[in-house]
Amino acid sequence: MDIVPTAIPDVKVLLPARHGDARGWLSETWRRDCFAAAGIDVDFVQDNTAFSATAGTIRGLHFQTPPCAQGKLVRAVRGSIFDVAVDLRRGSPTYGRHAAATLSAERGETMWVPPGFAHGFCTLEPDCLVIYKMTALYSPTHEKGLRWDDPALGIVWPVANDAAILKAADRAHPLLADLGAVFPATSIPGR
């Protein structure tokens, strides 16, 4: 497995090896010992699948607050996405910064988004299917969001603001400056 560096060392893009022959290929997409060696030693408790019919669909930026903060292992199994993680851990040297990568079904990249980060993605083509594993169960009372187009984040999304397809709630999330301390440094597991 190759590890591709990102702008934030705690966010990792992993490229599992594919073993192929005339029939196609096989890839280990999750293997505890390999991921632990890459610094991702977690227990997953929930898997989600998201389908987006249209290119330019944005989902995010979402996170859950402690004690239900989620780490996510994200990959596209059909199509491709622009995947983003924003550091919300107060006291972190990368607080307010983001890491982004293109994840495609064709190449098989996987992105690890640790707890303490807001996460979102934009579909780069129609009919995208994204799966992600999570380290905490979904909790509606702990679900929060960060404004996807906050200029302070400096995210260059692959779709114009007026062409992006989002649900109304995602357009209404607060800016980073208005968010407050949702992840004090001591609230993050493993810190």
Query: Does the active-site annotation cover 173?
Result: no
- According to the model, what pLDDT value does residue 32 have? 87
Judge whether residue 191 has pLDDT over 50: no
Cis omega before residue 5 (within 30°)? Answer: no
Which of 38-47, 81-90, 112-121 has the weakest average pLDDT? 38-47
Query: Does the active-site annotation cover 62?
Result: yes
Give me the catalytic one of 62, 98, 119, 173: 62
- According to the model, what pLDDT value does residue 36 have? 87
Judge whether residue 19 has pLDDT over 70: yes
Which of 21-35, 42-56, 160-174 has the weakest average pLDDT? 21-35
pLDDT per residue as tens digits for the range 64-105? 999 999 999 999 999 999 999 999 999 999 999 999 999 999
Give me the catalytic one of 19, 98, 119, 132: 132
Judge whether residue 186 has pLDDT over 70: no
Cβ–Cβ < 8 Å for 44, 134 = yes
39: left (phi over 0), alpha (psi -120 to 50) or beta: left
**Count of helix runs (H) and strand runs (E) in the chain:** 3, 13
- According to the model, what pLDDT value does residue 184 have? 77
CA 136 → CA 63, 83, 111, 141, 166, distances in Å? 11, 20, 17, 13, 25
- According to the model, what pLDDT value does residue 1 have? 81
Residue 72 has which token pair?
């996510």
